[in-house]
Structure 1
Amino acid sequence: MEFRMESDSIGLRQVPKDAYYGVQSLRAMENFKITGLKLNEEFIKSLAEIKKASAITNSAIGLLDEKIEKAITAACDEIIEGKLHEEFIVDPVQGGAGTSSNMNANEVIANRAIEILGEEKGNYKIVHPNDHVNMGQSTNDVIPTAGKITILRLLEKAMSKLEILHKALDEKSEEFDDVIKMGRTQMQDAVPIRLGQEFKAYSSVIKRNIARLNKVEKHLKVINMGGTAIGTGINADEEYLSKIVPTLNEVTNLGLMQAEDLIDSTQNLDIFVEVSSGIKNCAVSLSKMANDLRLMSSGPRTGFGEINLPSKQNGSSIMPGKVNPVIPEVMNQVAFNIIGNDVTITMAAEAGQLELNAFEPIIFYNLFQSIETLTNGVDTFVENCITGITANRERCRELVENSVGIITAICPHVGYKKAAKIAKTALKTGESVRKIIIREGILRESELNDILDPIGMTEPGISCKNLIAK
């Protein structure tokens, strides 16, 4: 392998001659062998968008030679298209508040721009990573802005999957609207409910989570570009400060806004805690739903057996024919991981000191992962589980008929004391509540049929009104 010599404040260092990254990226790669992973693809593109907008702005105000700006812009466009991503060699978890990621972008863009201008990589007299590509910027406004742009793009994908899930749950609520089943509280028989009502509740909580994430998206669009090191805008031209965000909007089409208080926006990372909380809330709702599906489908002979989940793969290496609820199980595990990530994000945001929080790399590593795993989890949840669920209608009805829980629906018609006596008799003898009531002449069968009508038992007041009418 051939090398070129580069220098930084640490000293001289050999860099592979064909590499687009430079000495600072190489040192970071060696120092931060943490996850073994590369920077998020969307994050890399976001960095390139910021560098492009900065070059255009600096050129427009006369600070950057137009020829250099065109070369930088062309290099950024290639990265935005997905090229040169293999040259981003730093680990996502790194010390230095993201300086390594920022310099990796600066070096790759500079060397590609040098190449575009017909010179050899490493000739920073032509295009310099700091003086030209990073002009008017700091790691401390570039990295949080790139993080927000990335999160906005990742959330867009997540929201589209959540909308599909919401629609699928709505469709199931209509399909199962006439399926009466036993409702349970604290894992004990409670009162009847329609399976469609349960699925409507799942749909409602997803709708609420979508609304919550829509709200947080607005806060993500407030960025600190122009604040440079600590929000005071040092080394940024006044005209650059006023034009960088509008230019970045032209590049990203995201409707970004410059923060009113750039110092606050630089040192406080509460927005990322807010995003993580929204993702965690969604994950908790999905995990609870997955728990319910595993319970309702349990069996097939000795459990609830109220619904059937699609069979996706063998469930055991030793028990023939066993099929496990693997899709709800993976949704649970996605949620567990997101909840853990949320703790890390919370602690990292709290750990900031004075004018900067140095822990954005771990925040973004966990937050990007949370959004992407939620997106992928929801995708498989819909495609491989929700849309294929079927109801065991007779089993559901049988459990209702044989449950003592239906006595609650009868209580307003016979009184609490008599209803309690019927329930105790049913539990003691194993007879159904219906059989005891008819045998003892407490209610006529026609009256009982009205009271135990599926709609009457699962909507407020209908049973009582029927009795009063008679």
Structure 2
Amino acid sequence: MPSHTRTEQDQFGSLEIPADALYGIHTARAVANFPLSGYRLPAVFIRAYAQVKLACVRTNASLGYLSLPMAQALETACKELADGSHHDQIVVDAFQGGAGTSTNMNFNEVIANRAAMLMGQAAGSGSESGSDTSIGAGSGSGSDSGSVSGSGAVHPLHHVNLHQSTNDTYPTALKVAVLHELKALEQPVADLQETLQRKEQAHRNVLRLGRTEMQDAVPLTAGMTFGAWAEAVARDRWRIFKCRERIRQVNLGGTAVGTGLGAPRDYVLRVTDELRRITGLKLSRAENLVDATQNLDDFVEVSGLLKACAVNLLKICSDIRLLSSGPAAGLGELRIPAMQTGSTVMPGKVNPVIPEAVSQAALRIMSNDALAGQVAALGNLELNQFMPLMAHSMLESLHLLKQAVILLHTRCITQAEPDAGRCLGHVESGGALAAVLVPAVGYARAEAIAQAARNKGISLAQAAAEDLNMPPEVIATLLSPERMHQLGYTEETYAAFRKDNDTKGGKA
């Protein structure tokens, strides 16, 4: 019977690997060594790492460091990974020691074994070729410069990892993945902003009572509420666009610590250009590769801008939950779509589940930002050993932010409508008119009118009309939607009160 395993060897001995596995012994040891989170690398990161490996293969081939048959097989293997195949073979835990070496080796082995199969070789045959199958923690350059590689079995280090290190391929792949995700995030944020702006115009004449410190304040319009949310999201849209400028410089070609040691100069100068052509991203080689290898503050900056967007989402969701609260015994000023049954014991109860879910995603993004700062600060000398944690937190935040924006937009904001009658009722029953009266009659008299309304149990507008001996419709003009859209007041605003002030001692 055919064996279901194959035996591979490294400096620590031998291991049995599943016969149909594209990964090899280095990956198997990492799986055994890091049974931590159960989190796997996200698809966007796998595709990005495959694109980095493809750029390296093409550059090495163009410079004559790989034979044509070898280069063609390696390129096909990289393209398959980049296009979504073999992702089940990237099996290392997202959290790992070695600054990502296990991840790099997982890719090296999968690409090597897939290329070997394309060349008619058996998977794992390359693990026994060559004299150097070991890797150092965080590096693993295994370069074989100075001669053409490509005769014999495909080797994960000598061929796939030629002129590379984990220390330049891993952060480069992360930046490529982040740039892809930032690009994917831009349109959902733009869509949310545009919907909020449409709501701003649609409800510009719906009065609602403003509230400060959870207490009644002066009125504004529901359109203004949507407009304020739109402006916050517009700033997020700009920040996300600018994020891409912060993250476009990569250290590919710097090898272990950024000196390019072990890689030919022509390779170092060309490989980023090749990656730019493959990805379609505006990538450039960092001017200081040593700095770009050891410092992660550019990721921290991007994380902070993602946090700002999460903060705005959380604020908007909190506002929505308050405005839609009740609805009978709460504010009930905003109607949002009912999504599902809200209680197993209270029939008919419906909860604001979309804002609640988005709020949780926002809180996670905010906590990931704090984590990103700590990770960057804890790097030592020429390398940050916690790169895998940075990768996980950054890519999780980007994924959550995109999904949260889409969820809030499509399942809440698009169908959210103010209850105009409820809003107006709160305006008329509240004390907002007192503040509007102050420029016309002075603070003391406006306060007396408000007290009279409370004592008589009537609306403030009615009390003002009685006290000032003016028609209610004149009073009402001070609370019209048009009045809310004026920036401050003019002499004409209170012209009707001048004669009355002359006889009753008010202050115009």
Shift of the alpha carbon at 1:120?
0.8
Q: 1:461 to 1:34 in 2, by over 3 A?
A: same
Q: Show the 5 A alignment for 1:296-311.
A: 296-311=323-338
Q: CA deviation at 1:428?
A: 4.0
1:279 is matched by which residue type in structure 2?
Answer: L
Q: Does structure 1 residue 245 correspond to structure 2 residue 272?
A: yes
Quote how far apart the aligned CAs of 1:218 are: 1.0
The answer to whether the 8 Å contact 2:295/2:383 transfers is yes
Structure 2: how far apart are the matches of 1:55 and 1:43? Answer: 18
Shift, 1:334, TM fit: 0.7
Tell me what 2:33 maps to.
31
User: What do residues 26-46 of structure 1 show as CA deviations (whole Å, max 9, x unaligned)?
Assistant: 011111111212211111111
Residue number among 364, 377, 382 corresponding to 2:409 in the alignment: 382
Out of 302, 317, 322, the position equivalent to 1:275 is 302
In structure 1, which of residues 369, 388, 403 is the aligned counterpart of residue 430 of structure 2? 403
Which residue in the other structure is 2:4 paired with?
A: 2
User: Could you tell which deviates more after superposition, 59-68 or 320-329?
Assistant: 59-68
Deviation at 1:433, TM superposition (A): 1.3
Distance 1:299 1:463 in 2: 39
CA-based RMSD of the aligned residues comes to 1.4
Matched residue type, 1:394: G
Identify if the C-alpha distance between structure 1 residues 96 and 440 changes in structure 2 by more than 3 Å, giving closer, same or farther: same
- What is the alpha-carbon distance in structure 1 between the residues aligned to residue 72 and residue 54 of structure 2? 9
Matched, 1:420 2:420: no
Whichever residue aligns with residue 62 of structure 1, its letter is G
Q: Give the whole-Å Cα distance in 1 for the aligned partners of 2:289 and 2:460.
A: 69
Identity of aligned residues (%): 39
- Tell me whether 1:208 sits opposite 2:250 in the alignment: no
Structure 2 residue corresponding to 1:104, chosen from 103, 106, 113: 106
Distance 2:297 2:9 in 1: 37
Which of the numbers 354, 377, 380 marks the counterpart of 1:353? Answer: 380
1:48 & 1:332 partners in 2: Cα distance? Answer: 34
**Aligned residue-pair number:** 470
Cα distance in structure 1, aligned partners of 2:444 and 2:50: 74
Q: What are the equivalent positions in structure 2 for 1:74-223 lying under 5 Å apart? A: 74-124=76-126, 125=129, 126-223=153-250
**1:11 equivalent in alignment to 2:13:** yes
CA distance in structure 1 between the aligned counterparts of 2:488 and 2:194, rounded to whole angstroms: 30
The alpha-carbon distance between structure 1 residues 369 and 415, as it changes in their structure 2 partners (threshold 3 A), is same
Aligned-partner residue type, residue 426 of structure 1: A
Asked whether the 8 Å contact 1:413–1:464 carries over to 2, the reply is no
Please report how far the alpha carbon of residue 458 of structure 1 lies from its aligned counterpart in structure 2 after TM superposition.
4.5
Choose 1 or 2 for highest CA Rg: 2
Deviations for 1:282-335, whole angstroms, at most 9, x for unmatched residues?
011011100111111111111111111101101100000001111111111111
TM-score (norm 1): 0.97
Partner of 1:339: 366
Of the structure 1 ranges 424-433 and 170-179, higher mean CA displacement relative to structure 2 is found in: 424-433
1:371/1:342 CA distance change after superposition, 3 Å:
same
SS class of match (1:435): helix
For normalisation by structure 2, the TM-score amounts to 0.90
5+ residue gaps, structure 1 = none
Amino acid aligned to 1:94: Q
Give the whole-Å Cα distance in 2 for the aligned partners of 1:175 and 1:23.
Answer: 63
Select the residue among 53, 56, 59 that pairs with 1:54: 56
Farther off after superposition, 134-143 or 455-464: 455-464
CA distance in 2, matches of 1:353, 1:427: 67
Q: Deviations over 1:119-147 (max 9, x none)?
A: 11112141111111011110001000100
CA 1:254–1:51 in structure 2 vs 1: closer, same or farther (change >3 Å)?
same
- Asked if the contact 2:51–2:275 (Cα under 8 Å) also holds between the matched residues in 1, the reply is yes
User: Structure 1, residues 377-399: CA drift from partner, whole Å, max 9, x if none?
Assistant: 11111111111112211111111
Corresponding residue number in structure 2 for 1:313? 340
